């Protein structure tokens, strides 16, 4: 579905932001990407819907070179939700923000109405439908951005720092969105610093540092490798840290797992 072939990206100011990236992501995969600020994570995402084009190498989406197609047609497939909602939101109301994308992609009136209502309901935005997006709280803005992209039902949802400003209910809602999309055969790619949010997902995890992929493996390998984490300036999630300190071969993957095994041992 998504294929990076020896992709290097050099910014206009000469900074090398991606170095020889080779990567394949299948259509229905859940992939998380971690790394320090400036590691190249967001730059990588922007290559997925053609917002940025490689300096060297190529990016293929469903076999199509991103240089040979439009951002709009790529976005229909790869729905990217930006880190900073202020870069995405521009409509005069919450409702029209969701309607806009749907109109652009040519959905008919009835379908637009149905999907908009569904998204407003699911993301708890119904009461805010007439508010100007820029007057919302940070957490509300973030939810609106996700709703607006999810509305057109892309094949892959790409989320850049989705948990910023989100409380427990909304974090649980995000897990729900991820699970539901997965059940429907969709892909989800998440860039996040929020390691405690990522750990229970136990997803394929890509570690980036200085424009490179340092490691691409399951979460339990990545987050138990202290040398790797140090090199990438990432910390261990608490349950991984606990597992390391208890010298466990198989880390606790969740609180429930930890309780059972701690009690079982003694």
Find all residues with CB under 8 Å of 159, minimum gap 6, and list them: 81, 146, 174, 188, 189, 190, 191, 192
User: Is 164 a binder of another protein (CB under 8 A)?
Assistant: yes
**Of residues 193, 228, 231, 248, which one binds another protein by CB under 8 A?**
193
Q: Which of residues 40-69 bind another protein (CB under 8 A)?
A: none
Report how far apart, in Å, the C-alpha atoms of 240 and of each of 133, 151, 182, 244 are: 38, 35, 25, 6
User: Is 210 a binder of another protein (CB under 8 A)?
Assistant: no
CB of 57 to another protein, least distance (A): 26
CB of 191 to another protein, least distance (A): 11
CB of 37 to another protein, least distance (A): 4
User: Is 161 a binder of another protein (CB under 8 A)?
Assistant: yes
Nearest to 148 by CA among 91, 99, 86: 99
- Give the phi and the psi of residue 159 in degrees, each rounded to 5: -115, 120
User: Is 235 a binder of another protein (CB under 8 A)?
Assistant: yes
**Of residues 3, 5, 8, 36, which one binds another protein by CB under 8 A?**
36
Angle between the 138-150 and 168-183 helix axes, to the nearest 10 degrees?
A: 10
Stretch that binds another protein, among 4-12, 151-159, 164-172, 215-223 (CB under 8 A): 164-172
CB of 209 to another protein, least distance (A): 11
User: Is 249 a binder of another protein (CB under 8 A)?
Assistant: no
Instruction: Please give the structure tokens belonging to residue 46.
Output: 């922007």
CA 114 vs. chain centroid, Å, equals 25
Measured from the CB atom, the residue of 36 and 51 that comes closer to another protein is: 36
Distance in angstroms (rounded) separating the CA atoms of residues 40 and 17: 6
Contact 88, 160 (CB under 8 A): no
CB of 204 to another protein, least distance (A): 19
CB of 66 to another protein, least distance (A): 27
Q: Is 235 exposed, middle or buried (0-12, 13-18, 19+ CB in 10 A)?
A: middle
Measured from the CB atom, the residue of 63 and 227 that comes closer to another protein is: 227
Name residue, tokens 């750990």.
199
**Of residues 37, 63, 87, 227, which one binds another protein by CB under 8 A?**
37
Q: Which residues bind to another protein, rule: CB under 8 A? A: 35-38, 83-84, 137-140, 161, 163-171, 193-196, 199, 233-235, 237-239, 241-242, 245-246, 255-256, 258-259, 262-263, 265-266
């Amino acid at each position: 579905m998504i294929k990076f072939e020896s992709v290097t990206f050099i910014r206009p100011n000469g900074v090398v932001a991606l170095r020889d990236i080779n990567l394949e992501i299948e259509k229905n995969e859940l992939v998380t990407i971690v790394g320090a600020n400036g590691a190249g994570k967001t730059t990588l995402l922007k290559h997925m819907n053609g917002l940025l084009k490689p300096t060297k190498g190529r990016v293929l989406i469903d076999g199509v070179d991103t240089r040979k197609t439009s951002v709009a047609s790529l976005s229909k497939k790869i729905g990217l939700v930006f880190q900073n909602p202020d870069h995405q939101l521009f409509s005069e109301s919450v409702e029209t923000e969701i309607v806009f994308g749907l109109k652009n992609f040519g959905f008919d009136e009835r379908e637009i109405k149905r999907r908009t209502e569904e998204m407003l309901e699911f993301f708890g935005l119904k009461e805010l439908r007439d508010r100007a997006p820029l007057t919302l709280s940070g957490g509300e803005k973030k939810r609106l951005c996700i709703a607006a992209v999810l509305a057109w039902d892309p094949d892959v949802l790409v989320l850049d720092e989705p948990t910023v400003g989100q409380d427990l209910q909304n974090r649980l809602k995000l897990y729900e969105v991820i699970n539901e999309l997965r059940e429907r055969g969709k892909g989800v790619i998440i860039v996040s610093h929020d390691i405690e949010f990522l750990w229970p997902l136990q997803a394929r995890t890509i570690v980036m540092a200085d424009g490179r992929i340092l490691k691409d493996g399951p979460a339990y390998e990545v987050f138990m490798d202290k040398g790797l984490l140090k090199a990438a300036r990432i910390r261990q999630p608490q349950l991984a840290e606990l597992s390391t300190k208890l010298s466990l071969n198989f880390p606790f993957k969740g609180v429930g797992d930890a309780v059972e095994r701690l009690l079982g041992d003694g």
